[in-house]
Structure 1
Amino acid sequence: MAELRVTELSTIEAVEARQWNALVGDDHPFLRHEFLHALEASGAASPATGWAPRHLTLWRGARLVGVMPHYHKHHSAGEYVFDWAWADAWERAGGRYYPKGLTAIPFTPAPGPRLALADGEDALAARRSLATAWEQAELSSWHLLFAEEGEVEAWQAACPALVARHGVQFQWNDAGYGDFEGFLAALTSKRRKAIRRERRLVAEQGLSLHRLEGDAIDEAALAHFFRCYEITYLERGRHGYLNLDFFQRLRRTLADSLLLVQARLEGRPVAAALCLQGRRTLYGRYWGSEVLADSLHFEACYYQGIEHCLARGLTHFDPGTQGEHKLARGFAPRRLRSLHYLADPGLRAGVARFCAEERRHLDAYCQAAQRALPFKA
């Protein structure tokens, strides 16, 4: 058998989509070649924006046996696991925090696989080989974000020096509800009535909701969605991380993975939420609205997604990061861990202390969040 070889790629185009996708499968659209290529080709994830691709690939001879997205980052924006304070403290102490190594999906805090290996490959040996990519003088650190729990454990076994940081998201799982009424029946009477009231308010404002999939998302619908997406960011005084070219590329290359929830007023679209979907999971990602409407965000971003999952047999709904208001709508806390390699022993010790203290607070928060779920006892 040929020796295992690690190669860095400065662009996803350096490997064929067919080869890459054969390893990653189709349940996590963000890891697919088409998604990563759209980020790079549109300029959203590029050296000019502080995301220099350094994708890590494993080869045996001419055969691709492992792939992992990887970037050299020159800032910490667009990651959603915030280490700005670490960078500031280290640079105040005379260190250099950037560039750092990052394995994550740009602008996408969705848990999923990060390393994809061919069948029969030794996962421990693969991870130890990959670790050499960030043990270099140019990088202060390496960060693994939003990996699945099994992968986190495997990385810890391969590289014990990694520091774990705990986080939480709110996600929905199908417990055999059948349909939306079945889901409501599992809730307390108070919450059931509140959700029905929110959905009724949307209808009373003259708004109707429409779910478009795949080829049904035409250019006009996508252009309208993008206007709404930009509004969300312009309200905060800046443009979104992603541009129209990125979304147009997704429409051309990943149409079967797209779901657009469109809100219409008198037949005219006025708000939109764009989701991606795999074989088991719906991922709510991008939202915006041209109108102020009571409860419209809850309807478009949560209830329509739950209905879609139940109609399509998807068992899991990840509506995006943040927002404990999701608890009251049946989204349960899910614990996550990121992993961090800090080359300097002093910085590593300080970060480890910070993460241990942060975890104590998060443990208490998650216990309270679990008690706040609206399901019947």
Structure 2
Amino acid sequence: MNASLTLTTHAAISEIPADTWDGLAGDHPFTSHRFLDALEQSGSVGPGSGWQALHLTVERDGRIVGAAPLYAKSHSQGEYIFDHAWAQAYLRAGGRYYPKLQCAVPFTPVTGPRLLSPDPAVRQALLSGMAQVAERAGCSGAHVTFCTAEEAELGEEAGFLPRVTQQFHWLNRDYDSFDAFLAELSSRKRKAIRKERQRAQGFGGTIRQLTGDDLRPGHWDAFWEFYQDTGNRKWGQPYLTRQFFDLVQETMRDDVLLVLAERDGQPIAGALNFIGPDALYGRYWGCVEDHAFLHFELCYHQAIDYAIARGLSRVEAGAQGEHKLARGYLPVEIHSLHWLREEGFLRAVADYLEQEREAMGEEIEMLADWGPFRKDG
């Protein structure tokens, strides 16, 4: 650590002034103080969750000039860039993989700033600080997930291993309507999506887009039921508590788009999105009734409608899902950084990641070529 910089760890985001944190984080919804605080105040992270806050700040002359959302982890759940195989290999070699440090936004597979400072020297200090904290706490390593490409390059210079994975994003090419987007697809794909939307919208009810003051407690009661069903099936139990959604309503309702399907006046399905300055981020979906293609309509097509109407540059629809490709969501690179305390294991992972990056590049190129867009476009 530079002699003029002081590193401090914090057991709660509330220990750091919101205006100071947000002044460094910018206007990204998931790295905002209010989002991270909602996770902590609701008990979604903290004791018993496997995510213990250990946020980093860097001070210069008594003033916070850098920060990073950091957690001590006792498992690898809720991260979406998976290291389960590394943990198993570490255990087989006689090591203890957990605890580890995770610089991330819990349960949120969305790229955004992780090293919160405009100063490259401070961002370097945050990275070296994570390694120091890991050493002193006896952690196996430190991981920075869903970081920006610029941060990935900076981390590699600092001795972290870069990793490339992928997601599917929809990109707005200055479309003035959904039909303008469809016009760039092959005829077969265009017809398939139109038919799919017609089937979905004919489920026997209405679809509404709600944000800001249009959101009411009853909407969150319904969505909580949807979220519980999806969480129980996908993760064994939901990551977020009911109180989290109440806090989002209180502090972030203008940052939220809730797409609800209602039949006979009752919500039967919903998709929750967060609104960024230039993107829409799809996060959670659930239902209490099954209807053909309704999932695709609420999660993907309605999101595109909203992005076009608001002039947003892209829709990020969350982790995984090659089914998104046929609906105009194309593969993009996702970056992460990894530092491991044990040098032999670090070298083994470095060899693996080099091979993985080459394979991932080939896969992204192949998937993009299989996309639904006209080849003459």
Residues 77 and 192 of structure 1, relative CA distance in 2, 3 Å threshold: same
Q: Aligned with 1:116: secondary structure?
A: coil
Q: Which residue of 2 aligns with 1:64?
A: 64
Structure 2 CA distance, aligned partners of 1:272 and 1:247?
Answer: 14
Q: Which residue of 2 aligns with 1:193?
A: 191
Q: Aligned with 1:283: secondary structure?
A: strand
Matched, 1:116 2:116: yes
Q: Aligned with 1:81: secondary structure?
A: coil
1:111 is displaced (CA, Å) by 0.7
Counterpart code for 1:186: E
Structure 2 CA distance, aligned partners of 1:120 and 1:95?
Answer: 34
Q: Which residue of 1 aligns with 2:265?
A: 267
Structure 1 CA distance, aligned partners of 2:332 and 2:303?
Answer: 18
RMSD: 1.8
Query: In the TM superposition, what whole-angstrom CA distance separates every residue of 1:290-317 from its partner, at most 9, and x where no partner exists?
Result: 1110000110000000010111111111
Structure 2 CA distance, aligned partners of 1:264 and 1:90?
Answer: 49
Kept after mapping to 1: 8 A contact 2:91/2:97: yes
Q: Which residue of 2 aligns with 1:226?
A: 224
Counterpart code for 2:6: R
Deviating runs (4+, > 6 A) in structure 1? Answer: none
Kept after mapping to 2: 8 A contact 1:178/1:310: yes
Kept after mapping to 2: 8 A contact 1:6/1:130: no
Residues 78 and 130 of structure 1, relative CA distance in 2, 3 Å threshold: closer
Matches within 5 A, 1:159-238: 159-160=158-159, 162-236=160-234, 238=236
Q: Which residue of 2 aligns with 1:10?
A: 11
1:283 is displaced (CA, Å) by 0.3
Q: Which residue of 2 aligns with 1:55?
A: 55
Counterpart code for 1:112: G
Q: Which residue of 2 aligns with 1:19?
A: 20
Q: Which residue of 2 aligns with 1:317?
A: 315
Kept after mapping to 1: 8 A contact 2:270/2:298: yes
Structure 2 CA distance, aligned partners of 1:187 and 1:211?
Answer: 26
Counterpart code for 1:282: L
1:76 is displaced (CA, Å) by 0.6
1:92 is displaced (CA, Å) by 1.7
Unaligned runs of 5+ in 2: none
Structure 2 CA distance, aligned partners of 1:237 and 1:63?
Answer: 41
Q: Percent identity?
A: 41
Structure 2 CA distance, aligned partners of 1:304 and 1:319?
Answer: 12
Kept after mapping to 1: 8 A contact 2:116/2:123: no
Structure 2 CA distance, aligned partners of 1:118 and 1:338?
Answer: 19
Kept after mapping to 1: 8 A contact 2:206/2:262: yes
Structure 2 CA distance, aligned partners of 1:343 and 1:141?
Answer: 5
1:15 is displaced (CA, Å) by 1.0
1:236 is displaced (CA, Å) by 4.7
Kept after mapping to 1: 8 A contact 2:115/2:126: no
Counterpart code for 1:188: S
Structure 2 CA distance, aligned partners of 1:294 and 1:144?
Answer: 38
Give the TM-score normalised by the residue count of structure 1: 0.95
Counterpart code for 1:4: L
Q: Which residue of 2 aligns with 1:95?
A: 95
Give the TM-score normalised by the residue count of structure 2: 0.95
1:75 is displaced (CA, Å) by 0.8
Structure 1 CA distance, aligned partners of 2:295 and 2:237?
Answer: 20
* Deviation larger for 133-142 or 268-277: 133-142
1:82 is displaced (CA, Å) by 1.2
Residues matched between the structures, number? 374
Counterpart code for 1:223: D
Matched, 1:73 2:69: no
Q: Aligned with 1:135: secondary structure?
A: helix
Q: Aligned with 1:134: secondary structure?
A: helix
1:266 is displaced (CA, Å) by 2.6
Structure 1 CA distance, aligned partners of 2:235 and 2:126?
Answer: 44
Query: In the TM superposition, what whole-angstrom CA distance separates every residue of 1:30-79 from its partner, at most 9, and x where no partner exists?
Result: 10011111111111111321111110011123322111000111111111
Match of 1:292 among 290, 295, 308: 290
Q: Which residue of 1 aligns with 2:249?
A: 251
Kept after mapping to 1: 8 A contact 2:66/2:117: yes
Kept after mapping to 2: 8 A contact 1:47/1:53: no
Structure 2 CA distance, aligned partners of 1:364 and 1:340?
Answer: 22
1:212 is displaced (CA, Å) by 0.2
Q: Aligned with 1:146: secondary structure?
A: strand
Q: Which residue of 2 aligns with 1:365?
A: 363
1:156 is displaced (CA, Å) by 1.3
Kept after mapping to 2: 8 A contact 1:207/1:266: yes
